[in-house]
């Protein structure tokens, strides 16, 4: 994890206000599970017409400070094993955090949940749709128990809010670590 520093300092005379903010540059991956490659085209009445590729632009437009604070990577796979392989790789690389939409594996995949549990990388679970306003099988998430929180129901903005929440969480936990 890289470190960047911003500093506002006076000329050193007594009474000058000195503000020093140390902040981190986070490596973050956005992971999408099955049937999410064509978000923006798939069932737009349920999932909206926002596209995954637009996330960085929307994110940086909504929060200009974030562009210098995060390195974003994107991954999508339809297979459970491929997703788990990518998560293990992310863990091995020492990634800072993840935003994950596990798609239907949310409700069914103990294997994916086990992976998220043991790698213990902080992640926000996101859903385009409000899964609790849909059929009952979608009310259960096997994966969310390992998340720092869930955002659902805002279309592509769920990812944007998820990224903002993740960065806030990472900032707070690194400040807590530095305070000790
Ligand atoms: C979804 C909700 C899941 O129930 C569904 O299987 C998906 C998309 C969402 O983003 O709303 O594929 O994760």
Residues lining ligand 1, judged by CB closer than 6 Å?
A: 35, 101, 103-104, 106, 127-129, 131, 138
Q: DSSP E strands: which ranges in the chain?
A: 2-8, 19-32, 70-76, 97-101, 123-127, 149-152
pLDDT of 11 strictly over 60: no
Distance 34 CA to ligand 1 centre (A): 9
Mean pLDDT of 151-178: 90
CA distance 172 to 169: 5
Tally of domains within the chain: 1
pTM given for the model:
0.86
Active site residue 107: no
Whether 113 is covered by a domain: the verdict is: yes
CA distance 19 to 8: 5
User: Number of helices and strands (H, E) in the chain?
Assistant: 6, 6
Whether 10 is covered by a domain: the verdict is: no
CA distance 91 to 51: 26
pLDDT digits (tens, 9 = 90+) for 115-152: 999 999 999 999 999 999 999 999 999 999 999 999 99
Ligand 1 pocket test: which of 38, 40, 48, 103 has the largest number of ligand atoms within 8 Å of its C-beta?
A: 103
User: Which helix (H) or strand (E) covers residue 31, if one does?
Assistant: strand 19-32
Per the model's pLDDT, the better-predicted residue between 119 and 68 turns out to be: 119
Ligand 1 pocket test: which of 36, 112, 131 has the largest number of ligand atoms within 8 Å of its C-beta?
A: 131
Distance 111 CA to ligand 1 centre (A): 18
Q: Answer whether 142's CB lies under 8 Å from 109's CB.
A: yes
Whether 5 is covered by a domain: the verdict is: no
Active site residue 47: yes
Whether 107 is covered by a domain: the verdict is: yes
Mean pLDDT of 69-95: 96
Q: What is the CATH number of the domain that holds 164?
A: 3.40.50.9100
Whether 145 is covered by a domain: the verdict is: yes
Whether 9 is covered by a domain: the verdict is: no
Whether 1 is covered by a domain: the verdict is: no
State the pLDDT at residue 55: 83
Whether 19 is covered by a domain: the verdict is: no
Can you give the residue range of the structural domain that contains 54? 24-179
pLDDT digits (tens, 9 = 90+) for 84-103: 999 999 999 999 999 999 99
Q: Answer whether 111's CB lies under 8 Å from 43's CB.
A: no
């Amino acid at each position: 994890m890289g470190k960047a520093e911003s500093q506002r300092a006076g000329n050193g005379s007594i009474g000058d206000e000195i503000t020093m903010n140390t902040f981190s540059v986070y490596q973050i991956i956005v992971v999408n599970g099955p049937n999410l490659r064509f978000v923006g085209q798939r069932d737009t009445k349920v999932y909206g017409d926002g596209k995954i590729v637009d996330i960085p632009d929307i994110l940086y437009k909504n929060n200009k400070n974030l562009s210098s604070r995060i390195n974003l990577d994107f991954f999508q796979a339809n297979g459970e094993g491929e997703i788990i392989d990518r998560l293990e790789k992310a863990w091995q690389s020492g990634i800072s955090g993840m935003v994950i939409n596990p798609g239907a594996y949310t409700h069914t995949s103990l294997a994916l949940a086990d992976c998220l549990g043991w790698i213990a990388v902080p992640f926000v679970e996101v859903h385009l749709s409000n899964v609790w306003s849909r059929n009952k099988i979608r009310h259960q998430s096997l994966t969310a128990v390992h998340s720092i929180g869930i955002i659902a129901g805002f279309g592509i903005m769920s990812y944007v809010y998820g990224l903002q929440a993740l960065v806030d969480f990472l900032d707070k936990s690194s400040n807590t670590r530095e305070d000790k």
